[in-house]
């Protein structure tokens, strides 16, 4: 029997606890560690949040160096009593999802979820029972199906009564990287995934542009050129396969394919009539985008919609639909006004409440 072991790591845990208890810290650089003493302090950074990391800060960095890079940050001494209490609360929740659980530090644990995992046949049965017409399969990494189960999995996918799409790899994939080796390697990853699409009898693949430079606008200009070059190579290949490529809009911390204006800049730079769009509601929310303008400009090339909830503009989250701040009724009214007939794909962090999320969306259709 195959075993499924998950590694749970609470990201920026100490800083996250401080943000939880002090909402005014959210969106600001938070550094946990020694007293910087105006850049003269001794000691190190214990941890810091992602806002602080934008300035080059990281764990174990000398606190004096951290202060020089980010003097306006919020510097806090560790409160281990509070962190241990928060850890206990989180780990109790995490443990409830596992058959076997081993905590290895204040913010890390391993979970054996083998008996919680349902196999592909059960997934298919669940989808068909729920009346789902389209399923999007995340293939990450692209060589995930190179083992002895490959043919079995392909046969299973091709037995689905529903339409299938592929979401290409996005971890460690960066088409717009200013490093030529990375952008070329990322293009090759998508080309290999495109080959899988044909084995799966899939006609649509969604791709990500990658991560643009967070610091310098001048480098972002080059990121756009790299993205255009990479996508041109990819499209020249996928056209031979009759495969539709949809470029997805991204959350604001990626610095590329953001709101309707930035998307327009990117598409003009790429300048291909055979490139289409995947519209992600959560990503667009983080950029405070105008859904009316987006659909007015691009309703003819939006071929895929990801219905994703979010409750913060700082990061991409996937809570149950209707629990956050994304205005789904307004969005679906706009989509329906253009007679959109493409896929509506619900993205969740868990399938536990799938039926409730389907019923929620059906209210607006």
Give the SS3 label for residue 95. Answer: helix
C-beta contacts of 150-155 below 8 A and 24+ residues apart: 153/120, 154/199, 154/200
Angle (nearest 5°) at CA 150 between 146 and 152: 170
Q: Which of 105, 75, 100, 110 is nearest to 87 (CA)?
A: 105
CATH number of the domain located at residue range(s) 1-117 in this protein: 3.40.1170.60
For domain 118-362, give the fold: TIM Barrel (3.20.20)
How does DSSP classify residue 264? H
244 DSSP β-pair partners: 204
**For each of the chain's 365 residues, which pLDDT tens digit applies?**
456 677 788 889 999 999 999 999 999 999 999 999 999 999 999 999 999 999 999 999 999 999 999 999 999 999 999 999 999 998 888 787 676 888 989 999 887 766 655 556 666 666 667 677 788 888 877 666 656 666 777 777 777 677 889 999 988 899 999 999 999 999 999 999 999 898 888 999 999 999 999 888 889 999 999 999 999 999 999 999 999 999 999 999 899 999 999 999 999 999 999 999 999 999 999 999 999 999 999 999 999 999 999 988 877 778 889 989 999 999 999 999 999 999 999 988 766 677 788 889 989 98
Extents of the domains making up the chain: 1-117, 118-362
Neighbours of 50 (CB within 10 A): 16
pLDDT of residue 132: 75
Q: What is the mean pLDDT of the chain?
A: 89
Which sign, positive or negative, has the C-alpha torsion 318, 321, 327, 333?
Answer: positive
DSSP 48-77: E-HHHHTTT--TT-BHHHHHHH-TTSEEE-
Distance of CA 334 to the CA centre of its chain: 24
DSSP-derived 3-state class of residue 136: strand
Question: What are the tens digits of pLDDT across the range 28-49?
Answer: 999 999 999 999 999 999 999 9
Strands 45-48 and 30-33 turn out to be: antiparallel
In the 8-state DSSP scheme, what is residue 44? B
What is residue 159's predicted lDDT score, i.e. its pLDDT? 73
Distances (CA, A) of 174 to 63, 189, 247: 32, 10, 13
Task: Please give the pLDDT value at position 93.
Answer: 82
For 97-131, how does the pLDDT look when each residue is reduced to its tens digit (9 = 90+)? 676 888 989 999 887 766 655 556 666 666 667 67
Of the candidates 169, 237, 234, 165, which has an alpha carbon nearest to the alpha carbon of residue 197? 165
pLDDT of res. 122: 65
What does DSSP assign to residue 107? T
């Amino acid at each position: 029997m195959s075993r499924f072991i998950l590694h749970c790591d609470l990201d920026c845990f100490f800083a996250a606890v401080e943000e939880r208890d002090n909402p005014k810290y959210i969106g600001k650089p938070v550094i946990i560690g020694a007293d910087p003493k105006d850049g003269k302090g001794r000691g190190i950074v214990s941890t810091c949040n992602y806002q602080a990391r934008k300035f080059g800060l990281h764990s174990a960095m000398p606190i004096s160096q951290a202060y020089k890079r980010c003097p306006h940050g919020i510097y806090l001494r560790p409160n281990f009593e509070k962190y241990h209490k928060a850890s206990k609360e989180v780990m109790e929740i995490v443990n409830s999802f596992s058959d076997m659980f081993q905590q290895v530090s204040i913010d890390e644990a391993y979970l054996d979820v083998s008996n919680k995992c349902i196999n592909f046949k059960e997934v298919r049965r669940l989808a068909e029972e729920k009346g789902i017409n389209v399923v999007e399969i995340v293939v990450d990494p692209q060589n995930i199906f190179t083992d002895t189960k490959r043919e079995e999995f392909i046969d299973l996918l091709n037995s689905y009564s529903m339409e299938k799409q592929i979401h290409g790899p996005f971890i460690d994939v960066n088409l717009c990287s200013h490093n030529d080796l990375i952008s070329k390697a990322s293009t090759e990853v998508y080309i290999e995934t495109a080959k899988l699409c044909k084995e799966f009898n899939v006609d649509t693949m969604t791709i990500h542009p990658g991560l643009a430079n967070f610091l310098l606008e001048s480098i972002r200009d080059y990121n756009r050129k790299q993205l255009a070059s990479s996508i041109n190579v990819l499209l020249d290949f996928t056209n031979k396969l009759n495969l539709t490529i949809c470029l997805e809009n991204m959350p604001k911390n990626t610095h590329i394919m953001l709101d309707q204006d930035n998307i327009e800049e990117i598409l003009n730079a790429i300048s291909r009539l055979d490139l289409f769009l995947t519209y992600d509601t959560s990503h667009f929310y983080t950029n405070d985008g105008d859904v009316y303008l987006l659909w007015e400009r691009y309703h003819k090339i939006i071929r895929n919609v990801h219905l994703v909830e979010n409750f913060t503009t700082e990061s991409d989250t996937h809570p149950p639909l209707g629990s956050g701040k994304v205005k789904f009724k307004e969005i679906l009214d706009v989509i329906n006004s253009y007679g959109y007939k493409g896929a509506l794909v619900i993205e969740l962090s868990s399938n536990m409440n799938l039926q409730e999320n389907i019923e929620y969306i059906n209210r607006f259709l």
